[in-house]
Amino acid sequence: MNYYKSTLRSYRACKIAGLPRNKKLIFFIFLLFGFSSFLFASSLDDIEKDVQCLLNYGNRPISFGIDKYINSQGNFQDFGVSTFAAINGKGFFCLLNDDGKIILTRNGFFRWNENGFLVNSEGYRILNKKSNLKEKDYKFITIEDFEKINKKSKKTTSLADQYKNDIEASPYLIAVPLDNPEIIDNEYLICDEIQSQPAKIIYGAREYNSTQLSELYDLCCRTFDECNGEEFADQKKRIVAKFEVVISYFLNNLYAEEKYKNELEMMLYSLKERI
């Protein structure tokens, strides 16, 4: 809608500039339709990022708004990979990017780098809770921190004690954004001020959230219907392939009612028909 308003303003600007009527009309039509493929391609790009977001770590496609990104909580899928982690509760993992800025994410797909530091897929190091944020004295999680986890945890049958043990043993710095958070690179939050937050860590798991799947499906359908040219077919196929992986997970790993499984299969069929 904003695009069409801007084209109307451009048309009026032509009128003010005194262009001949026939040239004004041609110019207006060019503005209105000439870049439509670029607009739709941009929309498909956004959809693909959202599906990839769901595929990567299963939580909160960002186009649904920053409030949902910050406040929603996902279910957990056990991967059995020791470096993977999921946050049970509020907060974000703190990473230091290549520009020396702290960025926040819920994506706990971590690995060890060649120097023994825990990093994400882009090589950003994960901050240890011993870091002093105010002094910018940053410490990072190492293999040695993981070796200490089992030593610090005491066997107990009390849920309260288990939770306490987890927070005390966990080396992760978990933080919540306090002031004007922004989303960058479709995954990370940056914020002028953050505050450390105790949270239980689920080791070896990822956070997975199905609550926005139907919203993402509706968004895909609308965008696919708008982008109905042959030039969009390859990108649609790529998006559907990613969407199929997400749906396959729900079909194969969740104890869902048969009716819900049928709905998931129909989603996939409907998207394939729109290519």
23-32, 42-51, 125-134: range with lowest mean pLDDT = 23-32
Q: What is the mean pLDDT of the chain?
A: 76
Position 251 pLDDT exceeds 90: no
User: What pLDDT is recorded for position 34?
Assistant: 38
Position 39 pLDDT exceeds 90: no
pLDDT tier, 92 (very low <50, low <70, confident <90, very high otherwise): very high
pLDDT top residue among 94 and 162: 94
pTM over 0.75: no
Ordered DSSP codes for 60-122: --GGG-HHHHHH---EEEE---TT-EEEESS-EEEEE-TTS-EEEES----EE-TTSBEE-TT
